[in-house]
Amino acid sequence: MKTLTVDLPGRPYDILIQRGLLDEAGAHTKAVCPKARRIFAVSDTNVAPLYGERVLTSLKDAGFEATLHVIPSGEASKNPTQLAQLWEAMMEAGLTRTDAVLALGGGVIGDLSGFAAATILRGVDFIQVPTTLLAQVDSSVGGKTAVDLQHGKNLAGAFWQPKLVLMDPDTLNTLPEDVFMAGMAEVLKYGCIRDAAFFANLETRPTRAALMEEIETILLTCCGIKRDVVLADERDTGVRMILNFGHTVGHAYEKAGNYEKWSHGQAVAAGMVAAAHLGVSLGITPADLPERIQKAVSALNLPAHIPCSWEDLTHAIALDKKGAGANMRVVLLTKMGWAEPVSLTREQLEGQLRKLWEEGVIG
């Protein structure tokens, strides 16, 4: 088993990575939630039929009263109405303040059930069991929870750190090819922002089979980078912003597809290419990086360019949570393996993006 500790003051937790770990979920949950009597597990209609009974059996074998609540799969379920239904279901199940919530699924399940855990009874313990590559390397670690609003993604949420993160790489074997590769966008991101050698290694492994040969190392590397960034800036006011490399334009791409045509990972892939072009236009990013990132993205069958209206692009900029007063902080690469938040006025940012959009480089 590979273990990483996120050593936040007073709230440390472990990330455990091991094949077959789903069958040990109960024992590991008992170790971190010894006072809990009931575990309220949340999953979706894709994941529950595959892994729900295994996790429930493990929880019950560890002595818990376990409930599995299943919601429709997809981003459309990450909304305030579903959140309210989840609260009511938790109360119906008899959840108390010493009990815990367990998220079994991808990023939508983790974000939604994590926000529910943060707010039900003013906060109960939370276990993350991510089953997608994107969730394993990104959304399950760091404590960000949220739901989407009509105005945009992740606009209502809370910071609520898990008590434990359990990653079973075997769950990746059941992912559709496009979902697996969407997760690889976030994997590439970690190389871009903090590990040039890791990115170079990924460039030599453009197939799923080659990637799965090193999947434990890939998960460990990505989670290690995120752990270090979260420890330096838990509340996302400084260096943690680098984790959003490619996301400003990426969110515009998601909106352009009505959050249905393009997955988050696909949008981030094209968003990273756009961010690299933006960095070059500002004289911050080396000129060779846009093409290099584009080749890596395309080799994984991810989009390097997504059509997007200027209205969707400016809407995403206006809602970007990295803004500070009149200025925007956009994450740009100063070299491969190193990203920095760069402060620009909204006029500067929109002017540069407008130029690239009119040239057809982005959008």
Please report whether residue 57 resides in a domain.
yes
**Residues 18, 165 within the same domain:** yes
Burial readout 157-176 (b: 16 or more C-beta within 10 A, e: otherwise) = beebbbbbbbbbbebbeebe
CB contact set of 3 (below 8 Å; sequence gap of 6+): 14, 15, 16, 17
**Average pLDDT score over residue span 135-142:** 96
Residue 322 pLDDT: 62
CB contact set of 21 (below 8 Å; sequence gap of 6+): 1, 28, 166, 167, 168
Q: Which residue has better confidence, 252 or 324?
A: 252
Residue 153 pLDDT: 86
pLDDT in tens, 199-221: 999 999 999 999 999 999 999 99
Please report whether residue 181 resides in a domain.
no
Please report whether residue 192 resides in a domain.
no
**Residues 123, 206 within the same domain:** no
**Residues 203, 323 within the same domain:** yes
Burial status of residue 233 (CB atoms within 10 A of its CB: 0-12, 13-18, 19 or more) = middle
Please report whether residue 349 resides in a domain.
yes
| Whether pLDDT at 88 is above 90 | yes
**Residues 212, 332 within the same domain:** yes
CA dist 352 and 75 (Å) reads 31
Reading the block at residue 173, the tokens are: 């074997």
Please report whether residue 180 resides in a domain.
no
**Average pLDDT score over residue span 116-132:** 98
**Residues 80, 223 within the same domain:** no
**Average pLDDT score over residue span 339-355:** 93
pLDDT in tens, 279-307: 999 999 999 999 999 999 999 999 999 99
The chain-wide mean pLDDT, for the chain, equals: 95
**Residues 163, 27 within the same domain:** yes
**Residues 50, 170 within the same domain:** yes
pLDDT in tens, 247-282: 999 989 998 898 889 999 999 999 999 999 999 999
Domain enclosing residue 14, as ranges: 2-174
**Residues 170, 293 within the same domain:** no
Is the whole-model pTM more than 0.75?
Answer: yes
CA dist 291 and 254 (Å) reads 22
**Average pLDDT score over residue span 109-132:** 98
Residue 174 pLDDT: 97
**Residues 334, 278 within the same domain:** yes
**Residues 39, 120 within the same domain:** yes
Structural domain count of the chain:
2
Specify which residues 335 forms β-bridges with.
338
Please report whether residue 107 resides in a domain.
yes
Q: How far is CA 332 from CA 81, 203, 209, in A?
A: 36, 20, 31
**Residues 30, 73 within the same domain:** yes
Please report whether residue 188 resides in a domain.
no
Q: How far is CA 231 from CA 19, 146, 315, in A?
A: 27, 20, 31
Question: Among 75-79, 109-113, 288-292, 346-350, which stretch is predicted with the lowest mean pLDDT?
Answer: 346-350
Residue 172 pLDDT: 98
| Whether pLDDT at 324 is above 70 | no
Domain CATH for 323: 1.20.1090.10
**Residues 96, 163 within the same domain:** yes
